[in-house]
Amino acid sequence: MIINKLKIKNYRNFKDAEINLNSSLNIFIGDNGQGKTNLMESIYLSSIGRTFRLNSENELINFNESKSSVEISLVKNNYNTKIELLLEKNKRKQVFINGVKLDKTSEMIGILNNVIFTPDDMKIIKGSPVERRKFINIDISQIKPKYKYLLNRYKKIVSERNVILKNYFTNSQNKDIINIWNDYLAGTGAEIIHYRNDYIEKLKKYAVDIYADISGNRENFSLEYQSNVLHDMNLDKDSIKKIFQDKINSNLKHEIQRVYTLYGPHKDDLIIRINGKECKYFGSQGQQRSAILAIKLAEIEIIREEIGEYPILLLDDVLSELDNKRKGYLMNYIRDIQAVITTTDDHDLRELAKNFNKKFFYINEGNIGNITN
Ligand SMILES: Nc1ncnc2c1ncn2[C@@H]1O[C@H](COP(=O)(O)OP(=O)(O)O)[C@@H](O)[C@H]1O
Ligand SMILES: [Mg+2]
């Protein structure tokens, strides 16, 4: 997949920018605070429909304006597609695909596939299970449209069920009603577990080999999907549901005491190990960086496996975080992939990208321009 053109208007600190991208490397150079991450965010927004930052949607619009737009022209499976986003203060954003307005913005997910890699992604390695679930959820949503629906449904089931647990003894009907919610929880939860296991198996398939390459076959990388519902994940949905139901039935007493749904995929984790030791606690800084690099490159391969083309790779200020060996590995790996790279210092990059097909741009106070040498 290739993005040909990007047009942004009144987005964050940009006024009016139109850029034609190269099909390989696109390197944006700029000092801090000039708009590099804003640019990445506009592409990411056109893919997922949400920002990766914590801001509200109003803050995506330039402070002095009331409307903003992002327009992306891309080629995917030999078809031209235009994605347009219109943002208006205090209104719901509108999304148009080839001029046709979508009923729900979530329908845009999966059209522009991207993998983003920023220094913040170290949270996947070092952060709490919440970070790893978030990462897995976003990734699966990009390739499996039903998954997002299941997640929303599951979230509602857990919160409704928690209310029933809270009022278990005060309302006599709840002894029967809880069984209905147990069935919903186990049914939807089993589907989520099944999707996640499938995704993690794929991630493992690619990341293990990539990590071995990066470490010169000296270290062994492993991923394990951890659930508090069951241990053997490689079961069909119905078998998972059955085990899930047994688990809830035999632990209902605890849940009533704790007034909370204790078992299910909302408690899942992904355990990352190097040479058998958990990377989060025992990995050196170098090992942790190799681990996230292997995971990010594996994400790229999974999308290619699913859609038959490579996604767009967004590297936001991440190269300066990697040492020369890892930087070299990454650059070599992405030779055939369209990448948007931002950096404050292009010195190493010019050397590394010497033999690449590439285009350089500067970003300065929300202005973007070509650099011709
Ligand atoms: N809605 C907005 N309107 C105008 N400027 C904004 C808006 N949101 C953020 N900015 C500005 O964008 C700049 C940060 O841009 P960013 O892309 O994060 O920089 P960097 O180049 O370091 O990645 C800051 O100067 C910030 O004030
Ligand atoms: Mg930045």
Ligand 1 pocket test: which of 12, 56, 319 has the largest number of ligand atoms within 8 Å of its C-beta?
Answer: 12
Closest C-alpha to ligand 1, atom 25: 33
Distance from the CA of 253 to the center of ligand 2, in angstroms? 49
Distance from the CA of 36 to the center of ligand 2, in angstroms? 5
The dihedral through the CA atoms of 49, 52, 56, 59 has a sign that is negative
Show the domains of the chain with their CATH numbers. Answer: 1-113+309-373 (3.40.50.300), 126-306 (1.20.1050.90)
Atom of ligand 1 nearest to the CA of 34: 21
Cα 264 from Cα 138, distance rounded (Å): 18
Closest C-alpha to ligand 1, atom 16: 35
So what's the pLDDT on residue 54?
82
So what's the pLDDT on residue 163?
96
Tell me, what amino acid is at 328?
G
Q: In what order do the strands lie in the sheet with 269-274?
A: 221-226, 269-274, 277-278
| Helical packing angle, 237-258 and 174-214, nearest 10° | 120
Cα 175 from Cα 55, distance rounded (Å): 42
So what's the pLDDT on residue 372?
83
Phi then psi for 156, rounded to 5 degrees? -65, -40
**6 with 315: CB under 8 angstroms?**
no
Ligand sitting nearest the alpha carbon of 318: 2
Q: Which residues of the chain have pLDDT under 50?
A: none
Tokens 């991923």 found at = 223
pLDDT digits (tens, 9 = 90+) for 304-325: 999 999 999 999 999 988 999 9
Distance from the CA of 53 to the center of ligand 2, in angstroms? 11
Distance from the CA of 96 to the center of ligand 1, in angstroms? 26
Tokens 């931002």 found at = 342
**36 with 316: CB under 8 angstroms?**
yes
Helix, strand, coil in percent for the chain, rounding step 5 = 50, 25, 30
Distance from the CA of 161 to the center of ligand 2, in angstroms? 41
CB-based pocket (< 6 A), ligand 1: 12-13, 30, 32-38, 59, 61-63
